[in-house]
Amino acid sequence: MRTLLRRSRRAVFALIGSAALALGGAVALPGTAQAANILSDPGFESGLSPWSCTGNLGSVVSSPVHGGSKALAGAVSSSDNAQCSQTVSVQPNTTYTLSGWVRGSYVYLGVNGGASTWTTSPSAYSQLSVSFTTGASQTSATIYVHGWYAQGTYYADDISLDGPGGGGGGSDTQAPTAPTGLTSTGKTSSSVSLQWNASTDNVGVTAYDIYRGSSQVLSVSGTSATVGGLSPSTGYTFTVKARDAAGNTSGASNSVTVTTDTGSGGGTGFKQAAPYLYEGWGDPPNPSTVMSATGIKWFTMAFVLDSGGCTPAWDGSRPLTGGADQSAINQIRSAGGDIVPSFGGWQGSKLGANCSSASALAGALQKVIDAYSLKAIDMDIENSDEFENEAVQARILTALKTVKANNPGLKTIVTFGTSTTGPTYYGNRLIEQAQSLGANIDVFTIMPFDFGGGSDMYGNTVNAAEGLKAKLKSTFGWDDATAYAHIGISGMNGLSDQQENTTPAIWTQIRDWANSHHIARLAFWAVNRDRPCAGGGVVSNCSGISQNNWQFTSITAGFTG
């Protein structure tokens, strides 16, 4: 039986430590190339360009500096680590040494997709250094420096990448090929989502610039983007150009003209009140009884796991069809409702971690989609095997992109833990990978509980959701309305694993906030626990507090988005 502690959270500094261990440390490599700093403006004496900083949080300051008269300041927030990066041309199969002087709490220096290192030097500059060897066909590298969430402003100066430049040090004048196949993959009243085919370049494409008419409105590293801040019922024409590390820009792609939807606000048009129902635990209630008593229509059915060989099964052991889970689903649908299955969770053998590839995982998801003719699926990404594994994150997102393309109209949801101020390192990484891969996720659902302390569950939940909104805005270029319309909240009714208490009154406040901000999804763990047992503690079949039967479900049924 799955224990209640399926969603335990680690303290933020434990997470910092584990991330640092995963990322940090120099790599012992043979033979460095002839030393020559190939970075532009390594000491920030000429301003910020060509450095690019997330969230526009980087600036050039005159104090404190390590050398010269200027340095970089990264204004870290609770939802953005103020990463500043620069892409340069490099030679394949060549060893490079990256070094720099940094100051601040938890400052990182590294290369995308490769080695990194970090230090804490709050009151004085200290030097970081790390080496890496380029791949057999690698012609560009993106180096970065960043701080840590909510740890205050960091400073960096005199950053050096020693080694030969691309093309043996010669000047690159060849522009990338123009992107092809530009198309719109979705729209709202205030945003348009775009996707295109990758360009090619002799040293590698580093960015794609999106144009609305003649104005550049966004720059991304992947082959998809969402342009926000648009007006309802308005036609817009978009093109895309590719850019390489030397600043060479391609010709424009084909143009695409899209008319935004009518109405106000952005998002996917998807609104769902769907508390968790678990047939393998906690005296499962009769779903039709709950529906009749509360008016709820949707349930999130937990959990689809791997029964071996990348084969989906309820809880990894109950049959996909023909068992108790299908019986519950039949009851729900007979009463006019529907379900979204949740894949994963805190423990058990998970498909995301155990399927060998994104295509294999997509095949497993498709079996469940076909079995129940689903309208939506939820990937509950937790623990170190999925959430804290960036390769598995990418596998899951790629599989979701595949099934979304193969099942028109299917909505995809990812659910993950959070801090009281928004996504943690791995939550931010999940969102960034979703953007980079063009996964087109409909709803990013946070689980605002098991924070490790804190009694203000309403305030903590709202702050966490606002932190998520800020991250979605900075990553996808969305406006407020569009970002809110891609947010989900999945709470825990009554007592959480760490004795946090979400009362019916607090849950009503959270529901009302969710409605007033027009988010996409509201859920809680779990209907099985939506029964009173004042002083009962944290158990599987009641909330541990005084309440009415199905009171949290009734409150949730009032979510309209």
**Lowest-pLDDT range of 165-174, 301-310, 356-365, 443-452:** 165-174
Report which listed range, 136-140, 225-229, 361-365, 536-540, is most confident: 361-365
pLDDT higher for 533 or 230?
533
- How many Å apart are CA 555 and CA 558, to the nearest integer? 5
The yes-or-no verdict on residue 428 having pLDDT over 70 is yes
Name residues whose C-beta falls within 8 Å of residue 133's C-beta, 6 or more positions apart in sequence.
27, 29, 93, 94, 95, 96
pLDDT in tens, 463-492: 999 999 999 998 888 888 889 999 999 999
The yes-or-no verdict on residue 427 having pLDDT over 70 is yes
What is the pLDDT, as a whole number, of residue 550? 97
Contact 66, 158 (CB under 8 A): yes
The yes-or-no verdict on residue 11 having pLDDT over 50 is no
What is the pLDDT, as a whole number, of residue 173? 79
What dihedral do alpha carbons 392, 277, 419, 361 form, nearest 10°? 10
Q: What is the mean pLDDT of residues 227-251?
A: 83
- pTM reported for the whole predicted model: 0.60
In the chain, how many H helices and how many E strands? Answer: 11, 27
Contact 205, 161 (CB under 8 A): no
**Lowest-pLDDT range of 28-32, 507-511, 557-561:** 28-32
**Lowest-pLDDT range of 67-81, 330-344, 492-506:** 67-81
What is the pLDDT, as a whole number, of residue 504? 95
Give the residue among 32, 154, 152 at the shortest CA–CA distance from 93.
32
- Assess whether 500 carries a catalytic annotation: no
Is the torsion defined by CA of 487, 387, 524, 308 positive or negative?
positive
Contact 253, 179 (CB under 8 A): yes
What is the pLDDT, as a whole number, of residue 166? 67
Catalytic residue from among 382, 388, 466, 500:
382
Report which listed range, 25-29, 159-163, 227-231, is most confident: 159-163
Give the confidence band of 233 by pLDDT, cuts at 50, 70, 90. confident
Characterize 385-417 residue by residue with b for buried, 16 or more Cβ atoms within 10 angstroms of its Cβ, and e for exposed: bbbbbeebbbbbbbbbbbbbeebeebbbbbbbb
What is the pLDDT, as a whole number, of residue 268? 60
Give the residue among 219, 222, 231, 218 at the shortest CA–CA distance from 191.
231
Is the torsion defined by CA of 509, 473, 561, 410 positive or negative?
negative
